[in-house]
Amino acid sequence: MSETLFRDSAGFFVYSDPAAQAHRAIRVFYSCPRSGVRDAPIIIAMHGIDRAAAEFRDVMAVQSARNGQIVLVPEFDTHQFPDFYAYNFGGVRLPPPSNTVDKKGPGITARPISSINTTRSTRPSPLPPSSSG
């Protein structure tokens, strides 16, 4: 993605992964600080079963702007993710009784999440280690 997606302080963009076999596109609602996004921490928030991604982003926007954070809320719409299992597993796992990885290939959520995890794992954690005591 070479273009700037965050032109305004709040909005949405459409994400699709051409390599995923399940050809889906999802809207991702965002809120970003006016101070800039280059080094801003990213919060990925998952809406509830009500599918109110834009409203959830709006609720988080004031606090995230105060903290200088970017908020991303992917929308799992009822057309592409019609039931409990499709919503909760993002199209990656099949519902029980098989509960296996979908043979059609990874869902739309698999690569972005693994990419974020890979990128974030190379940075030092901003949180202090927890004490187990």
At 130 the pLDDT is 43
Cα separation, 4 vs 105, whole angstroms:
29
Report residue 41 as tokens. Answer: 């921490």
Q: Tens digit of pLDDT for each residue in 69-119?
A: 999 999 988 888 888 778 777 777 777 777 666 655 555 555 555 555 454
Indicate if the pLDDT at residue 45 is higher than 80: yes
Q: Considering the entire predicted model, what is its pTM?
A: 0.65
Average per-residue pLDDT in the chain?
Answer: 74
**Quick one: pLDDT band at residue 133, thresholds 50, 70, 90?**
very low
- Say if CB 77 and CB 26 are below 8 A apart: yes
Q: Which fold has domain 10-121?
A: Rossmann fold (3.40.50)
